[in-house]
Copies of this chain bind each other. A is one copy, B any other.
Amino acid sequence: MAKIKDVAAAAGVSPSTVSRVLCNGPVSDKVRKRVEAAMARLDYRPNLAARRLRSQHTDTIGLIVSDIRNPFFTAVSRAVEDEAYRNGMRVILCNTDENPDKEAMYLRLMQEERVTGVIFAPTRQMVASIDPQALGFPVVMIDRVSADAATDAVVLDNRRAAAQLVGHLLQQGYRDIGGLFGNTSNTGMERHAGFSEALQQAGLAAPARFVAPSVEAAEQAVLQWLAEPARPQALLVSNGVLLLGAVRALKSAGLHWPQDVALVGFDNEVWTDLLGDGLTVVEQPVNEIGRTAMAMLLERLDEPERSQRIVVLQGKLVVRGSSLTL
């Protein structure tokens, strides 16, 4: 494979000049044309490893999520990647499966890659221990931040979104409302907080359960809950994965919404409006989350010393049949 020296020889110039052509440095048009012709003739491809080593910038960002198969992360990833490539950056994607060991391992990998920055959806254990200073690159957290995080972040207004769902259920006449939340992420905790507050303000109890963030765990929990005598009239479910589990549970128990139990949740996944009269959900602005995270990372790189910033985005309540009046 041709290298810069070969191109230089073929074009009758120095390697420096070829490099300048590559980087849009000052080169006369005549020479630039000759060099470009030589590159084309030799089918030259600059070696990015060499370039990164010498120039000390990798133009690469890390994107660390729990599981790309979660449609929320799929959508966010896609938005991040588009925005990254648009800015001439590469993305390294990592799945942690909510496993703090994997998180640590991938953060280490990011250091070895000398990434320019990282966009990270951390588990609850990890949130507080992320220190961009020690890591050596800026971090933008998404989806699961707490107030004590030391980085920029893009989050949904989880409390408010949960409260909105509760408010909607109250307005529809429901009083016995249960909440199901993921136990590994801060997001679950915040949604739980919003859920509790809203119900307490209404003077109602706020029975909540916490499960591992998997379809199966949610399905089992819901099955069990609905089999109990004190079954809630309505169920609020904290994210799309758990919501799928809840739907499966209702289906296998032969229960229907909203007659047997009303169901509301988070994440406007493609199937939520196909089921019966549709599921009422809070839709997250997934594209905006991804785009914003990438934009914040770029801004931070531009201006490393600016103060920490947290962008809070609002969800959109999408009312469908699963939460109608009894």
Binding site for B on A (CB under 8 A): 1, 45-50, 52-53, 58, 67-69, 71, 74-75, 77-78, 81-82, 90-95, 108-109, 111-114, 136, 215, 244, 247-248, 251, 270-271, 274-275
Q: List the B side residues contacting A114 at CB < 8 Å.
A: 47-49
In the complex, the count of this chain's copies comes to 2
Q: Chain B nearest CB: distance from A124 CB in Å?
A: 23
Whether B46 and A49, one on each chain, are in contact in the complex, defined by CB atoms closer than 8 angstroms, is no
How far apart are A68's CB and chain B's nearest CB, in angstroms?
6
With the chains together, A270 CA to B68 CA distance in Å?
15
Roughly how many angstroms separate A53 CA and B256 CA in the complex, as a whole number? Answer: 61
Nearest residue, chain B, Cβ from A244:
B270
Listed residue (A1, A91, A274) with the most chain B CB atoms within 10 angstroms of its CB: A274
Once the chains bind, are A112 and B48 in contact (CB under 8 Å)?
yes
Q: How far is the CB of A89 from chain B (nearest CB, A)?
A: 12
Contacts of A48 in B (CB 8 A): 112-114
Residue contact B81 to A74, C-beta cutoff 8 Å: no
Q: How far is the CA of A125 from the CA of B75 in the complex (A)?
A: 27
Shortest CB distance A276–B (Å): 9
Q: Are A81 and B95 in contact (CB under 8 A)?
A: yes
| Smallest Cβ-Cβ distance to A134: which chain B residue | B43
Given contacts A48-B114, A91-B93, 8 further A-B pairs with CB under 8 A are A45-B112, A69-B71, A69-B75, A90-B109, A90-B113, A91-B92, A248-B274, A274-B274
A81 CA to B69 CA, complexed, in Å: 12
Closest to A75 in B: B69
A68 contact set on B, CB distance < 8 A: 68, 74, 77-78, 81
Closest to A97 in B: B82
Contacts of A93 in B (CB 8 A): 81, 91, 93
Chain B residue at minimal CB-CB distance from A109: B90
What's the minimum C-beta distance from A47 to chain B, rounded to whole angstroms?
6
Q: In whole Å, how far is A86's beta carbon from the nearest beta carbon of chain B?
A: 12
Task: Decide if B108 touches A45 in the complex (CB within 8 Å).
Answer: yes
A110 to B93, CA, bound (A): 16
Contacting residues, chain B, for A69 (C-beta < 8 A): 71, 74-75, 78
Shortest distance between the CB of A18 and any CB in chain B (Å): 15
> Are B95 and A92 within 8 A (Cβ)?
no
B274 touches A251 (CB 8 A): yes
11 contacts between A and B (CB under 8 A): A46-B112, A48-B112, A49-B50, A50-B53, A68-B74, A82-B95, A90-B109, A93-B93, A244-B270, A251-B274, A271-B271
CB of B52 within 8 A of CB of A49, answer yes
Q: Which of B81, B90, B271 contacts A270 (CB 8 A)?
A: B271
Which residues on the B side are within 8 Å of A78 (C-beta)?
A: 67-69, 95
Q: Top 4 nearest A-B pairs by Cβ distance?
A: A271-B271, A49-B52, A49-B53, A45-B111
Chain B, residue nearest A102 (CB):
B85
